[in-house]
Amino acid sequence: MRFIDYVTAYVKAGDGGRGCVSFRREKFIPRGGPNGGDGGRGGHIIIRATKDLNTLIDLRYQREYKAQRGQHGKGSNQRGSDGEDMVIRVPVGTIVKDEGTGAIIADLSLDGSEVVAAKAGRGGLGNSNFATSTRQAPKFAQPGEPGEERVLSLELKLLADIGLIGLPNAGKSTLISVISSARPKIADYPFTTLVPNLGVVKMEDYRSFVVADIPGLIEGAHAGTGLGFQFLRHIERTTLLLHLVDISDILTSDPVEEFEKINNELRLYNPELLEKEMAVAGTKLDLANDGERLNKFSEYCKAEGIDFFPLSSATHEGVKELVSYLADKVEKSKKA
């Protein structure tokens, strides 16, 4: 299934029904007076979060949503029925915005949370509401109010505790497959991961946390290069960012430069991301023969005060220590 994390949709709440102009006409009751009923309200447009969905793909194929209008009032003071509300289900973690103003309407971060995205129009009053001692036979009623209409933008941000970031082929997919039950596509070419992957890491002490594998970033990603910034939104909710940097001797590039390139992309996309807690995993330790890249990067992290974990997903060396560290960080964050 395709992963869709951003859509726009036109929504129109139901109009209110008209009030009725009617007079009581019964045998032996002259001048019975007005008895026009009120119109019913229209249906609201409600956006509701559910854990049963993990993508916005359903909204990609239906772009217009119109709720039912209210029924018109009737004689004998019969009120029109209300229009049925229309509920649009979205994944947990969806942010609802007004496309025109960019204002956030709701952040649906809990299962079952909902928001009225477009309010229904009220039904009009029937003529029975306008009778007075001096106006005993009003021949008018109110029209129903129009329902609210707007264009919404729906943006899904994955709910993960740890965000894995790094250049293509840094080993993110391999690591998440080792520490969780997630089974992302793994290959030795760039951009193997085309959509974010979520994995639940379960500890022996019954603690657990969620890790998000974000598709590989490259220089210029904030401006749309490579996979662009389309997936950077998914690390905005995370507790901690885990940078993965290839420290194997297969590469000749400078690991410090690689790390700083990714940080620069984060800065250009959203400077607040650099305020998040960070740690670094040096991957492919089993291929770090003379350790030149490993030692250089280790010294850099130490000087910058960044927690550094050299590891190998292939041999599992250093993985247990990293997972324990991440679990402690998530637990500490939840207690704060």
d(Cα 128, Cα 36) in Å, to the nearest integer? Answer: 5
Q: Is the confidence at residue 174, as pLDDT, over 90?
A: no
Q: Which of 111, 128, 156 is the last residue of a domain?
A: 156
Question: Are residue 177 and residue 314 in the same domain, yes or no?
Answer: yes
Q: What is the pLDDT of residues 94-108, one digit of tens each?
A: 999 999 998 999 999
**Cα 62 from chain centroid?**
18
Residue 287, domain extent: 162-335
Q: What is the mean pLDDT of residues 103-114?
A: 93
Rounded Cα–Cα distance for residues 286 and 281 (Å): 13
Query: Given this model, what pLDDT does residue 116 score?
Result: 97
Are 301 and 172 contained in the same domain? yes
pLDDT value for 173 = 83
287 and 220 fall within a common domain: yes
**199: which strand partners?**
211
pLDDT at 27: 75
Query: Within this chain, do residues 55 and 178 fall inside the same structural domain, yes or no?
Result: no
Q: How far is CA 14 from CA 62, 67, 149, in A?
A: 18, 5, 9
Res 89 pLDDT > 50: yes
pLDDT-derived band at 3, boundaries 50, 70, 90: low
**Number of domains forming the structure of the chain:** 2
Residue 52 pLDDT: 86
Number of neighbouring beta carbons within 10 Å of residue 332: 11
What CATH number corresponds to the domain at position 280?
3.40.50.300
Which residue has 């003071």 as its token pair?
77
pLDDT at position 261 is 86
Domain boundary among 109, 134, 156: 156
Residues 329 and 199 grouped into a single domain: yes
Q: Where are the alpha helices (DSSP H) in 226-312?
A: 255-269, 292-304
216-245 pLDDT per residue, tens:
565 554 444 444 455 677 777 788 999 999
Does residue 226 come out as left (phi exceeding 0), alpha (psi in the -120 to 50 range) or beta?
left
State residue 228's pLDDT score: 43
Nearest 10 degrees: CA dihedral of 209, 213, 283, 225? -150
Q: Are residues 146 and 189 in the same domain?
A: no
Residue 202 to residues 33, 53, 305, Cα–Cα distance (Å): 73, 22, 28
> Residue 47 and residue 114: Cα distance in Å, rounded?
5
Band of pLDDT at residue 190, cut at 50, 70 and 90: very low
Looking at residue 223, what is its pLDDT? 46
What does the alpha-carbon distance between residue 179 and residue 316 come to, in Å, rounded to a whole number?
9
257-267 residue pLDDT tens: 989 988 888 88
In tens, the pLDDT along 191-218 reads 444 466 778 888 888 788 888 887 756 5
1 within some domain: no
pLDDT tens-digit series, residues 15-25: 999 999 999 88
- 282 and 311 Cβ atoms separated by less than 8 Å: yes
Tell which of 115, 138, 156 closes a domain.
Answer: 156
d(CA 22, CA 292): 91
Mean pLDDT value across the chain:
85
Q: Are residues 109 and 213 in the same domain?
A: no
Asked, for residue 279, whether it belongs to a domain, the answer is yes
Band (pLDDT 50/70/90 cuts) for residue 136 is confident
Side-chain half-sphere CA neighbours of 116 within 13 A: 13
Considering the domain architecture, whether residues 91 and 175 belong to the same structural domain is answered as no
